[in-house]
Amino acid sequence: MKKFGLIVLGTIAGIVALASLGSLLGLALSALLVFAGMHFYLKGDSKLSKFFWIAVGIVGLLTAVANVPGFFGILAILALWYVIREWKQNPMTLTSTSYSADPFTNFEKQWDELTK
């Protein structure tokens, strides 16, 4: 039953991650703008350049807020990572139980399992 839950969670997370690829790209671009704004603000010499880079950073923050579905895409990617990790830790094993034609042998096996 756990494998079924992992399959369902992985399928849903994969669909959400694929659907939010555009928002993830926009979120990455806005993070790049914020990083560039902070980096060049700290290296700027004049007040005009510092003002410009503060404006670039604020634009990056505003576009990050506009790309809220990108955060859901990040959560979906984390869910996919969790599913893959759990799937590799618990390999699926099929156990075969062999029953003999002798009913007393099966009774003895079941009785041993009950009395444990």
Tell me whether residue 115 is in a domain. Answer: no
Separation CA 39–CA 45 (nearest Å)? 12
Separation CA 20–CA 17 (nearest Å)? 5
Residue pair 44/53 in contact by the 8 Å Cβ criterion: yes
Give tens-digit pLDDT for 6-48. Answer: 889 999 999 999 999 999 999 999 999 999 999 999 998 899 9
Tell me whether residue 79 is in a domain. Answer: yes
Tell me whether residue 111 is in a domain. Answer: no
Tell me whether residue 46 is in a domain. Answer: yes
Query: What is the tally of structural domains in the chain?
Result: 1
Tell me whether residue 108 is in a domain. Answer: no
pTM, rounded to two decimals: 0.64
Tell me whether residue 104 is in a domain. Answer: no
Give tens-digit pLDDT for 41-86. Answer: 999 889 999 999 999 999 999 999 988 889 999 999 999 999 989 8
Tell me whether residue 103 is in a domain. Answer: no
What is the domain range of residue 15? 2-88
